[in-house]
């Protein structure tokens, strides 16, 4: 996935949820048709990358800023709520 920052800080370019941006996943054979429809309506439709099962890489302005095995990302996602709710006992005892 290669994203252009358009001068925005990386966290905004990568994770900003503007009302005018969506990510669409499709069969590669449909990319041209989707781009034609978007162009007809004055909408930009950029190809960001391709879905593969092993590795996620995100580039910002041509430089890799995220690179991780999908298995690690899945594990982090699956345990995120539990980790956020877990309290560090040393911090609690200090207060």
CA of 18: how far to CAs of 6, 13, 48, in Å?
A: 14, 10, 17
The answer to whether the pTM exceeds 0.95 is no
Q: Which is it for strands 2-3 and 55-60: parallel, antiparallel or unpaired?
A: parallel
pLDDT at residue 67 is higher than 80: yes
In total, the chain counts a number of residues equal to: 95
Phi, psi of 61 (to 5 degrees): 55, 40
Provide mean pLDDT across the span 43-66: 82
Per residue in 14-53, pLDDT (tens digit) is 777 777 777 788 898 999 999 999 999 998 888 877 777 7
Tokens of 85: 């709710």
């Amino acid at each position: 996935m290669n994203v252009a920052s358009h001068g925005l800080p990386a966290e905004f370019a990568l994770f900003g949820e503007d009302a005018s941006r969506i990510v669409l996943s499709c069969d590669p054979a449909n990319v041209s048709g989707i781009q034609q429809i978007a162009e007809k309506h004055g909408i930009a439709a950029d190809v960001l990358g391709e879905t593969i099962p092993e590795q996620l890489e995100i580039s910002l302005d041509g430089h890799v800023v995220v690179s991780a095995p999908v298995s690690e990302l899945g594990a982090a996602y699956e345990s995120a709520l539990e980790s956020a709710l877990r309290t560090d006992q040393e911090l609690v005892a200090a207060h």
